[in-house]
Amino acid sequence: MKTFVGTVTLAVLAANASARTFTVTNNCPFTIWPAIFTDLNVGSATPDQPTGWEQGAYQTVSFSVPDNWQAGRIWGRRDCDFSTGTPGPTQCLDGGCNGGLECDPNTGTGVPPATVAEFTLGINGAPDNYDVSLVDGYNLPVRIDNNKGCGIADCPVDLGPNCPDPLKGPFDSTGFPVGCKSACAAGLGDPVNNPNCCTGTHNTPATCPSSGVEYYSYFKDNCPNSYAYAYDESSGTALWTCDSSLAADYTITFCPAHASLDSFPVGGESIVDVISGPGSEDDSPYRLGTLDAVLAGRDRVKTDFVFRARSH
């Protein structure tokens, strides 16, 4: 019996030693619904976490990921309601997936626009590869960092408000843009032979340079450490690596500390308006409650900026 227990213990320790810890932090002042997808055609290892969950403002969730996780995606969904309707992408304003709250493990890749944290952990001596992808467009600021000093991939800017009109949307109930589609996701260009999508005769790095992708500069100039189109490796700041022998743990942060001041709305008003606009001397419970929540949120995430919190 002692031998059996010892064998099990060693097996458990070995399993734990081969796992990484991934942490998803929601620094946004509103609830999001993170999601995970693993391309099972590439590898069968999957994280020890549901493929979708609700995560409140300023909450952190950690889970184990096998150190051979391949072709993995983590993204956030906004304005979701899973209480009605058929489970599927339309239950969220953006980033929704087949399956509802928990994304279908085979088809639940997420619907654009969505900012996606992508991972392929190194096996057989290969390095970890990771990036913040805007190939599917943008819906939330995201940062990937780690505990081993490897490079930071991020898109810390809210790209929604200044998004070019052909790409802007969807919009929430107040008319605020909560997404910015890529030119490909927006359907610009030929549906088959399209430099925006690097398809047809444009399906190689040589035939699909960034100069041929509409609005590439909007995404890359604002988020230089992101993966802004299908062949963005040539930029040198799109795909990030970390020595897999370091067994790095990774943190994915939504709304990292450097997201812009007026990124998010509160009851249709910006926080700047609430603090300094007409009626700022108002002592109403709504206004004081809003300010208290915002200031508490700012202190909680230790940021020099004040997010515009959402009213729901």
pLDDT digits (tens, 9 = 90+) for 14-64: 344 479 999 999 999 999 999 999 999 999 999 999 999 999 999 999 999
- Residue 40 belongs to a domain: yes
Q: Are residues 187 and 101 in the same domain?
A: yes
Q: Is the pLDDT confidence value at 266 over 80? A: no
Distance CA(293)–CA(26), nearest Å, equals 15
Q: Are residues 290 and 173 in the same domain?
A: no
Indicate the residue among 259, 279, 302 that finishes a domain.
Answer: 259
Q: Are residues 96 and 218 in the same domain?
A: yes
- Residue 9 belongs to a domain: no
Full-prediction pTM beyond 0.95? no
Cβ distance 38 to 58 under 8 Å? no
Between β-strands 60-66 and 72-80, what pairing exists: parallel, antiparallel or unpaired? unpaired
Report the chain's terminal Cα–Cα distance, integer Å: 56
Range of the domain at 187: 18-259
Q: Is the pLDDT confidence value at 119 over 70? A: yes
Q: Are residues 22 and 113 in the same domain?
A: yes
- Residue 1 belongs to a domain: no
What contacts 178, CB < 8 A, 6 or more positions away?
A: 78, 79, 93, 94, 139, 160, 170, 171, 172
Distance CA(216)–CA(224), nearest Å, equals 11
- Residue 204 belongs to a domain: yes
The two tokens of residue 14 are 């070995």
- Residue 184 belongs to a domain: yes
Q: For 154-167, what is the mean pLDDT?
A: 97
Cβ-based neighbour number of residue 209 at 10 Å: 15
Q: Are residues 162 and 307 in the same domain?
A: no
> What's the CATH number where 102 sits?
2.60.110.10
- Residue 8 belongs to a domain: no
Kindly report the average pLDDT of the chain as a whole number.
83
Q: What is the pLDDT, as a whole number, of residue 84?
A: 82
- Residue 5 belongs to a domain: no
Indicate the residue among 223, 240, 259 that finishes a domain.
Answer: 259
Q: Is the pLDDT confidence value at 5 over 80? A: no
Distance CA(86)–CA(89), nearest Å, equals 9
Distance CA(90)–CA(86), nearest Å, equals 9
Cβ distance 113 to 182 under 8 Å? yes
Q: What is the pLDDT, as a whole number, of residue 259?
A: 53
Distance CA(62)–CA(52), nearest Å, equals 13
Percent of the chain with pLDDT over 70: 77
Q: Are residues 161 and 187 in the same domain?
A: yes
- Please give the residue that has the higher pLDDT: either 288 or 111: 111
Query: CA 146, 107, 182 angle in degrees (round to 5)?
Result: 65
Q: Are residues 125 and 156 in the same domain?
A: yes
Cβ distance 279 to 267 under 8 Å? no
Q: Count how many domains the chain has.
A: 2
- Residue 90 belongs to a domain: yes
Q: What is the pLDDT, as a whole number, of residue 264?
A: 54
The two tokens of residue 4 are 């059996």
Q: For 172-187, what is the mean pLDDT?
A: 95
Indicate the residue among 259, 274, 292 that finishes a domain.
Answer: 259
Q: Are residues 131 and 211 in the same domain?
A: yes
Peptide bond into 170 cis (omega under 30): yes
Q: For 261-271, what is the mean pLDDT?
A: 46
Q: Are residues 186 and 210 in the same domain?
A: yes
Cβ distance 74 to 39 under 8 Å? no
Q: Are residues 288 and 164 in the same domain?
A: no
Q: Are residues 207 and 272 in the same domain?
A: no
Q: Are residues 186 and 310 in the same domain?
A: no
